[in-house]
Amino acid sequence: MRLYIDANIPKSVFNAINSLQEIQFPQKYKVVRGKWLEEYNTENTAVFLIDLNTKGTNPTIDLHLRDGFKVVAYKKPANEAFNPYECALTFLGYWRRILSDIEENKNTVLISFRNNGKYYLKNI
């Protein structure tokens, strides 16, 4: 399975996620970032995004869900500046659960969470 990390997620957060996955044995996931490729499809790719909206979801998330992808969205806390350190800690704190939910849910799913907040899993 490919884990596509959107370019809006800071490189430092990507590096933290990638470093963790590189030491997994056997390798079950490939972490990628950058230009979207045609080979990325709903069977082999989960999409990781940052949701800056305070209410609802942003159009990019909606687009990927409509196309049938599994989407993992970090929701930036309302009324606070984006903090890459807190973002990375939150991703890593939920990492095992995120991967488990991606594996267990074969259909389109939205996983969203925020710093010190609730973790939501919604089957679409």
The CATH number of residue 33's host domain is: 3.40.50
Q: pLDDT value at position 2?
A: 93
Q: CA–CA separation, 114 vs 120, rounded Å?
A: 10
Model confidence, pTM: 0.90
CB contact at 8 A, 121 and 101:
yes
Q: How far apart are CA 105 and CA 94, in angstroms?
A: 16
Q: What is the mean pLDDT of each run of 10 residues along the chain (124 residues)?
A: 92 92 85 90 93 84 94 89 90 93 92 87 90
Alpha helices in 1-124 (DSSP H): 11-22, 59-66, 84-104
Q: Which residue segment(s) compose the domain that 68 sits in?
A: 2-123
Instruction: Give, as one character, the DSSP assignment of residue 76.
Output: P
When divided into structural domains, the chain yields a total of 1
